[in-house]
Chain A
Amino acid sequence: MLTQLGEGAKLLAGGQSLIPLMKLRFANPHHLIDLNFIPGTSYIREDLGALHFGALTRHAQIENSLIAAKIPILCDCAAGIADVQVRNRGTIGGSLAEADPSGDWSTVLMTLTSEVRCLGVNGERTIPVSEFITDAYTTSLAHGEVVSEVIVRHPSERSGGAYVASKRTAPVYPTASAAVQLTLEGEVCKEIAIALGCVGLMPIRAKDAETTFRGQPITPKSVAMAVEAARSAAEPQSDMRGSREYKRELVGALVKKALQAAVRRARGEHVEVSHIYA
């Protein structure tokens, strides 16, 4: 259908971004194809060491899923997106395909081994999330291709992750956010991924911060050094949500919170993490 209708056609998933964008005339599709009536597109399944999310799985389903809870950072994300009403409609596939620089899912998924399954007229392909998002509001989806599934591999033993976002009120996008996923060996960080959200045109992997922390024992000093390196990796822009300087400070504080929660979870502690309102 997408191929038939041409470039003016758009896919409608949860509609919680696209419908507001259409009202503001930022989006002006000639045709809308509603995916919501296609059966079998909304599911959460576990097999072969991975979790599978149908493209039209709602944030609320993930928030309340016992299967998704096996990777706690996913629930941190799902439970904090906008508000109940938006989480009841909005979908993981739609959120990724929109690639809003302030979207939550892409930031979180970049810290995990995760892939997007895409379906097109020429068949199926699987793209790592880090390669799926190519720029602000831009993905490597071809016209005529659609996201069918999001796949997240189980992290190894003694792993923990956390996602913390700071928002001014529930319905808005975060001002900044941080996702940390790590693996411990004894009390030393064996592996770590840190991603920063809303402080660049797309989520930023704080590679220097990861290198700084990898192989280090968990101490206030090693955490402080990683936070400092993560702060330097941010490329925030001033806007109505805050100045560049403020966002840089904020994202550092969020990395610290997420890192500390991730360490505790990796040790097997139960830690509740939620969005922060400022």
Chain B
Amino acid sequence: MPEETQKVLIRVTVNGKEYSREVEPRQLLVEFLREELDLTGTHIGCDTTYCGACTVLLDGGAVKSCTVFSVQADGGEVLTVEGLEKETTLHPIQRAFSDCHGLQCGYCTPGLMLSALQLLTDHPNPDEKQIRKGIAGNLCRCTGYQNIFKAIETAAQAMRIPSHGH
């Protein structure tokens, strides 16, 4: 019989705010976000590292939060969909998903927006292939992806800072 699991104290910065919690070592990051912090914008879809609905940024990189233990995020920084908005202004990616009808039921949307954020950080001016590759780990069962595509192209334009004459 395995002995009772000892809880572990972890410190994680989520959307700019630091949280300390005692968690079971087996707890997944997505459970930590949803159940401990009540940040239910991050969705659980397949729970098998397939659909990407639970995508968040961990230390700047997109990860499937159903496939990372909470204790592995100790000392790290997490960005979820709740952290995209600045005060009451939508992030350009959120604005573009809304304007381009890049969502229907909305289940995959938070994950897709975080994958889009990593894509646009790495490639501010992505071509079609880069966009397809960047969101290949996120499944949407409603849109057929065309409007998601348009949304990411639109967001890329909005996020490109006007150049200062070079």
Contacts and interface: CB of A to CB of B under 8 A. Distances in A.
Contact of B137 (A20, A30, A171): A171
Interface string B79-118: 0000000000000000000000000000000000001001
A84 B67 contact: no
A19 interface: yes
B162 interface: no
Interface string B58-93: 000111100111011000000000000000000000
A85 B137 contact: yes
A172 to B, nearest CB: 8
B6 to A, nearest CB: 12
B48 interface: yes
B115 A84 contact: yes
A82 interface: yes
Interface in A210-250: none
A207 B64 CA distance: 39
A172 B68 CA distance: 18
Interface in B21-49: 25, 28, 47-49
Contact of B67 (A20, A30, A172): A20
Given A171-B50, A171-B137, A86 B64 contact: yes
A34 B72 contact: yes
Interface in A236-274: none
Interface residues of A, number: 22
A85 B48 CA distance: 13
B136 A60 contact: no
Contacts of A34: 69, 71-72
B16 interface: no
A88 B61 contact: yes
Contacts of B67: 15-16, 19-20, 86, 89
Interface of A: 15-16, 19-20, 23-24, 30, 32, 34, 36, 60, 82-86, 88-89, 169-172
